[in-house]
Every structure is written in structure tokens, then in C-alpha cells.
Amino acid sequence: LTEDIRYRLLKILADEPQISQRDLAVRLGISVGKTNYCLTALVDKGLVKIGNFRKAQNKLAYAYDPETGVLTWKPKSGSDRFIKTFNSRFAGKPAFTTLERGYRQGRIDGQLFYAHRVIWKMMTGDDADDVDHINGDRSDNRWVNLRN
């Protein structure tokens, strides 16, 4: 499993957690068998939990770019006034923008969360007790800069 394929696969899964292996294979330009092999390797390393991508609802409100470390709001579907207002004000814009002691934080269902913990949950499926920023910059939430 090359670093390039692993990175691209994780980025696609973060942006589209409901994607099928067949569609993932097409996007990566590799066979379905190799896609399955790559996913299995990532699951074995603890970087991906397949079931969590189907079950987790909160993370579906956000898109995460592992290269920049930015969480953005995904557009909501529907046509009522509240949804149209939300989409015009927030969709595609950064979420978790408040800084607290250098950490990015935001609210999910009224509860405050640190962005790096939400990202860890999105990417691994685990609720980590301690997520560390490798370079010491608490606002740098790029995937390569986070560790448990």
C-alpha cells in the first residue's frame, strides 16, 4: 500500500463516507480487488473502521480535507427556508473556527468539541483519549500532524 494510495483513499473516505468499493476503485484508478486489499490493510492498521462510516451521523455534516486540516460544513438537503439559509451562510465554509488555548473547537448538538478529536473520530472511528499535534501547533489539524 503506497502512501499516495493510502492518502487518496483516506481523503475520499473522509469526503464521501458512503462510497462503495467499486466507486472508490474507479476514483483511485485501481481494481476492486486492490481497493478491498487497501481497505483491509487500513482497517488492520486501525486507520479505518468500515462500520463507522455507515453509522456515524454527526460527521456527515462536515467534510475534512486531510491535506489542509480544515473541516468545512457540508450543504444540507431540503428546500425549506432554514436549510436554504444554512446553506447560503455556512455550506463549504470552515467549521470549528473558534480558538480555545490554541485548539480549534465547535459545537455539535450544543456540546463543545475540539476539531482534532472530531477529525480523529472521522478518520479512525475511535474516541481517542489523547490526540496530539506532532508539530506542537494546536490549530494544525492536517492528518499527517495528528497522532494518538
* Mean pLDDT of the 73-83 span: 86
What is the average pLDDT score of the chain?
Answer: 82
- Buried-state track 78-105, b at ≥16 Cβ within 10 A, e below 16: eeeeeeeeebeebeeeebbeeeeeebbb
Confidence grade of residue 69 (pLDDT, cut at 50, 70, 90): very high
Question: What per-residue confidence (pLDDT) applies to 109?
Answer: 66
Which whole-number Å values give the CA distances from 132 to 5, 31, 135, in the listed order?
24, 35, 9
- Separation of alpha carbons 12 and 62, rounded Å: 13
Question: What per-residue confidence (pLDDT) applies to 136?
Answer: 93
The model's pTM is 0.58
If one compares 32 and 116, the residue with the highest pLDDT of the two is 116
**Considering the chain, what percentage of its residues have pLDDT values greater than 90?**
19
Quick check: helix, strand or coil at residue 58?
helix
Question: What per-residue confidence (pLDDT) applies to 54?
Answer: 37
Closest by alpha carbon to 47, among 81, 7, 85?
A: 7
pLDDT digits (tens, 9 = 90+) for 87-100: 899 899 998 887 87
